[in-house]
Structure formats: structure tokens, C-alpha cells
Amino acid sequence: MKLRIVTWNINSIRLRAPLLARLAELWAPDVLCLQETKVEDSRFPHALAESLGYRHRLVHGGKAYNGVAILSRLPLAECERLSFGGLADHRHLSCRLCGDIELHNLYVPAGGDLPDPEQNPKFRHKLELLDTFTAYFAAREDVDARLLLVGDLNIAPLAADVWNHRALLKVVSHTPVEVERLMRLMQAFRFWDTVRLRRPPPERLYTWWSYRARDWARSDRGRRLDHIWIAPALLPAFKDSGILREARGWPRPSDHVPVLAEFEIGD
């Protein structure tokens, strides 16, 4: 059985409903993980998701900001809406699919503009949340679990994940302290980066381009902030990955583009 997973920071699901339909038609993901849905659970567009074939859904949102969702054509089990540190900021969902695959959909905060945890509470919250996620996975004893971690992690870890490594070392999303925290999270469950398994450095890859750019494609000042990671137990099932760069040029686009991973998981 083939399994296609897509993650996308949609930046308002109601505003970009036509783009969701376009993605479903173009890539036909079995499971679609969204971040920054910007909608309360009671106002989530379930009818749209149903019309696109996503009969199974888990949503966790708030008014006008944050929010995550899992839309699936396959049954979901053991679904959880997770909050850490006493903050109900709608950033983490988990569920099981295909029997034993455990899926985690994360939305890490952007962290504001100043990369100083003492002067910028948003940046401090970002680092603390990354530490919390790391502790959560490091504490697990089921090291052979088939885990998928996807989402907008808001960090571009590699020099080839940004348009200019030196220029961005002091810019939030690529600072050494953030990259170090992200590497700790990756190592907590020995995760593998699926996109880089297929397209390793030095190839430059981006999933986000600022709205401030007059011509995003021409300047191409991007960052790879969106990720699909897999635990070692899923490596034999992994087949392919990709980035839908063209989605940044769709009408009224999100500043992020979808990222895909494909698996062959048996019957």
C-alpha cells in the first residue's frame, strides 16, 4: 500500500480554501497535515475537507492565529490534541494510522524578530517549546516505533536551507542556538530528514519565501522551514519526497509551500 503524506503551513485555511482544493487535485495526499489554520474548531471548513475526500479529521485551532489540523482519507486512531507548559496555543496533534504509524503534526512558533531570549519573550517561548518537544520524544522507550514528525518547524537547519548562510546567522530561523535546539529534537528519536534523503546538500532547497519580496521567484531568498522526519523504523518504507515550489506562485498564496513524503507500507 502506498501512503502519501503532505505537510503545509496554509496560513489561513478559510482564506486559501481554493488552494487546498488545488493541492488535493494535484498531489492527492492520503494524509494532509496543516499548520497556521487560523480558525476555531467550531468554524473549521469540514464540508470542504469532506468534499475533497478527507473523511477523517483532527483539528486543534484558535481564533485568527496558530492552529493545526490532520485531514485523512484513512482512518485515524488514538487522536490527541497536545499542549505543553500550560499553554493552549494549538501547536501539536498526534494520531495513529495504518495500524502502527504514529503521526505528529507540529507548529513551532516563528519566534519574533530579535534572537535574544532575555529581551524577546517570543524567542524564549520558541526555544522552550523546542526543549519540551525534545524531552517528550527523548523520554520514550519504544525506540522501534514507526514515528512520523511533520510540520512547520520554523527553523532552516543547514547552510543549503537558506539563500545566504552568513547573512542569516543572526536572523531568527537560522541562528546557531535555534539550529542546535532543532538538532537535539532530531536526535531525541534519531529522526531522519526525508527531503534531504533524496536531495542532499549542497543543493539549495526552500519551502518559504517572504511576502515582502517584490518578485519572490526572481530574488529566490528562501528558507527551508517545513519538514517531514521519520524514525529509523520507517526508513525501509520510505520511497520519495518533494517540495511543491510552484504553489508559492498560486493566486493569493501562503508564504509556505507543501512538502511531500511517500511510503510503501505493505497491505
Q: Which of 64-68, 75-79, 251-255 has the lowest mean pLDDT?
A: 64-68
- Of the two residues 63 and 234, the one the predictor is more confident about is 234
Element (H, E) at 71: strand 68-72
State the fold for domain 2-264: Deoxyribonuclease I; Chain A (3.60.10)
Which cell numbers hold the place of 174? 537560522
Comparing 130-139, 172-181, 190-199, the range with the smallest average pLDDT is: 130-139
* Model pLDDT, residue 84: 64
Bond from prior residue into 251 cis (ω within 30 degrees of 0): no
Domain boundaries, the chain: 2-264
Task: Indicate whether 117 pLDDT > 90.
Answer: yes
What CA–CA distances, in Å, run from 37 to 51, 59, 69, 175, 194? 18, 9, 7, 26, 24
* pLDDT at residue 88, rounded to an integer: 58
Contact in structure between 45 and 67 (CB atoms under 8 Å): no
Ordered alpha helix ranges (H), the chain? 17-27, 46-51, 121-138, 176-188, 194-198, 216-219
| Average pLDDT for the chain | 95
**Exposed e or buried b for every residue in 51-67, given b needs 16+ CB within 10 A?**
ebebebbbbbbbeeebb
- CA–CA gap between residue 93 and residue 234 (Å, rounded): 19
How far CA 113 is from CA of 17, 158, 170, 177, 219, in Å, comes to 29, 20, 10, 14, 21
Q: Which three cell numbers stand for residue 230?
A: 521519520
| Dihedral-angle region of residue 64 (phi above 0 means left; psi in -120 to 50 means alpha; beta otherwise) | left
Q: What is the mean pLDDT of residues 214-229?
A: 96
Q: Which residue has the higher pLDDT, 143 or 262?
A: 262
Q: What angle is formed at CA 112 by the lines to CA 216 and CA 260, rounded to 5 degrees?
A: 50
Q: Are 264 and 237 in contact (CB under 8 A)?
A: yes
CA angle 49, 63, 22 (to 5 degrees): 30
64-68, 148-152, 168-172, 183-187: least confident range: 64-68
The DSSP 8-state label assigned to residue 48 in this structure reads H
Query: Sign (positive/negative) of CA torsion 236, 59, 66, 257?
Result: positive
Q: List the beta bridge partners of residue 187.
A: none
Average pLDDT (85-107) is 87
Taking the CA atoms of the chain, what radius of gyration do you get in angstroms? 17
Of 94, 73, 109, nearest to 147 by C-alpha is 94
CB 67 within 8 A of CB 60: yes
Position 71 pLDDT exceeds 70: yes
Rounded to two decimals, what is the model's pTM? 0.96
* pLDDT, position 63: 84
Reported confidence tier of residue 83, pLDDT bands at 50, 70, 90 = confident
> What's the mean pLDDT in 207-218?
95
- Give the integer Cα–Cα distance in Å for 157 and 123: 16
Give the sheet arrangement for strand 146-152, strand by strand. 77-82, 92-97, 101-107, 146-152, 226-230, 192-193
